[in-house]
Amino acid sequence: MATALSDTGKDPTLTGRTYLWYRAAELIREKPVLGRGYFSFWLQGNIDAEGLWRYAGIAERSGFNFHNTLVDLLVTVGWLGAVALIVTVLIAAVALVRRFVDRPSLALVFWISILLYELSRTPIETLGIQPFYFSTTLVFGALGAAFGRNLARRKMAHRPIRSAVPVQVTLVDYADRAWANPRLAPARGSLRLKRKQEADG
């Protein structure tokens, strides 16, 4: 452990995280159910935040967090918000894995890898809940990958067949009708030619 900590430039407290978590535990006890409000703690003028910035030596007084996703959630949105987000993530993660089992693809491997990587860092970093941050985009992109195209497939499966006659659409047909009608109905001439070919042959 000593070698790992020295090689990564950390100390046994993960560079001050234990003190942050100790202070966060006191803040959670004060407002356990709803917390202090989303993204409302690390604001200049908040005495508790100012003290932690001073402790960490952050002169800019910005860009800081509790370095633990669950702790950050409990401080800001309380147990109610934390449970709601955790349940949402679990449902979407199960749906993502289920979709991969049903229809495996390289894109789903990518999104599952991203999700596992981000979730593995949540005990020592605040990930997936900060606004305007790349990890938030990646986490919710991975979770959203479980749902997108499935809905489109269901709609296509239930769409009624409009014509039993096979229709061949050419590039000329598209150019003639694409602007007037977004559905690519064939020009009358090509349909008449197709039916004549079927009758002759």
In a domain, 157, yes or no: no
Q: Which domain holds residue 185?
A: 163-200
Task: Return the amino acid letter for 103.
Answer: R
What's the pLDDT score for residue 57?
A: 86
How many CB atoms lie under 10 A from the CB of residue 75? Answer: 27
In a domain, 28, yes or no: yes
pTM metric for this prediction: 0.65
In a domain, 87, yes or no: yes
Question: pLDDT tens per residue, the chain (201 residues)?
Answer: 677 767 766 666 666 788 889 999 999 999 999 999 998 899 999 999 999 999 888 888 887 889 899 999 999 999 999 999 999 999 999 999 999 999 999 999 999 999 999 999 998 888 888 888 888 899 999 999 998 765 445 555 555 555 555 555 454 444 445 445 555 444 455 555 566 667 776
Q: What is the distance between the alpha carbons of residues 92 and 145, in angstroms, rounded to a whole number?
A: 9
Same domain, 85 and 141: yes
Would you state the structure tokens that stand for residue 10, as one six-digit string? 């950390």
What phi and psi, each to the nearest 5 degrees, are found at residue 31?
A: -135, 80
**Structural domains in the chain (count):** 2
Contact 112, 141 (CB under 8 A): no
In a domain, 140, yes or no: yes
